[in-house]
Structure 1
C-alpha cells in the first residue's frame, strides 16, 4: 500500500494533467467545508454560490478547460441529502460555471452498481489519488497509485459512475422541493 502524503504534495496534478481530471466524491460531508467561509453563509440560508474568477479552484478550472482539458466529478448523494451534501450541491454551482462537469448519483444506485465508498481523483486514466479521511471527514492525506490494477479499477468505477450519474442542473431541479 502506498504511503500517505499531504494533499498539498499533489496539487501540481491539477495543472499538469494532459486531458482529464476526474473525481468520485463519496463522503456525506467534509471537515474542510465546515471550516470554510461559505459554510456560515450556507448555514444562514444561502443556497447558491456562483463562479468567482479570483477563487483559485475556479480560476484553475477555467484555465485548464480553456486549454481543452476536462474537469469532471460524480458526487454520491443520500436520499434525502445530508447537510454536507446539500452544501456541496449549492457550492458546486460555481464549479460548474467555471467549467467543471459535475454529475450526481444517489448512493443507493452507487451501491447497486458496485461503486466504492472511497473518494479518489483519476488523472489522465493513469494516476489514481485516493483520499483518506478520519471518521469526522478530516483529510488525513492521499495515496498516489499508478499500478495497472489500481488504475484499471478506477477507470471501471469512473465509467460506471459517469454512465449512471445525472448532470447537476437536472439533479438540482429534481431536489429543489426537498432541499
Structure 2
C-alpha cells in the first residue's frame, strides 16, 4: 500500500521504540538540491544547522528513549552523494542517531538487498521507491509478517557487521568527507 509523504513523515513521530534504515543508493537528488550540498560540492563546510526542525524533532524523539539507526552502503571509492552523507553523519549523530557503514562489496557478499527502506518498531517496512533520476517517488508500507521478518534479519545482519561512523570515517581516504577526491 502506498502512503503519502505526509503519512511517512508522521511515522517518525509515531514510532514507539526503533526506526532503522538501510540506505543503499549512490545518490539522492533531493540532497543535491540543497544549499548544504552546494557548499559541500564546492569543498566548503556544509554548515549543518543543528536547530533546524528535523534536528529538533530527532533530538526530541531520542530524548523520549526512541532509537534511530542507519546502515549506509558505500561504494569504494564513495560517490559524491555518499561522501556528502558521510559528512552529514556528524549532524545525524549529534542529534542522537547511530549510523554505521558497510562497503558495497561486503554488503553484496552478505546478500543484503539493494533497496532503501525504513523498518519501524520491527513491525512495519516503509520501502522507498526512486525514479531513474534518483528522486523519491513513492513510499510503500509493508506489514506482511514474512516480509517484516526478512527485514528484521537483514537489519540484524547489516548492523552486526557494519562499522560505526567514526571508525568508518578513518577508513575513507583523507578529504572524502569534504567532497575532495
What is the match of residue 15 of structure 1?
A: 13
Tell me whether 1:112 sits opposite 2:112 in the alignment.
no
How big is each residue's C-alpha offset from its partner over 1:121-170, in whole Å with a ceiling of 9 and x where there is no partner? 00000010000001221111110011101110110110010011000001
- Where do 5+ consecutive residues of structure 1 fail to align? none
TM-score normalized with structure 2 length: 0.92
1:5: how far off?
3.0
CA distance in 1, matches of 2:20, 2:121: 8
Q: In structure 2, do the counterparts of structure 1 residues 153 and 47 end up closer, same or farther at CA, with 3 Å as the change threshold? A: farther
Match of 2:131 among 134, 147, 169: 134
What is the match of residue 77 of structure 1?
A: 74
Tell me whether 1:163 sits opposite 2:160 in the alignment.
yes
How many residues align? The count is 176
Residues 47, 90 of structure 1: 8 Å contact kept: no
- Where do 5+ consecutive residues of structure 2 fail to align? 177-181
1:73: how far off?
0.3
What is the match of residue 28 of structure 1?
A: 26
1:7: how far off?
2.3
Residues 36, 46 of structure 2: 8 Å contact kept: no
Query: Over aligned residue pairs, what C-alpha RMSD do you find?
Result: 1.4
CA distance in 2, matches of 1:93, 1:99: 10
What is the match of residue 174 of structure 2?
A: 177
Q: Secondary structure at the match of 2:69?
A: strand
1:26: how far off?
0.3
CA distance in 2, matches of 1:162, 1:124: 15
1:18: how far off?
0.9
TM-score normalized with structure 1 length: 0.93
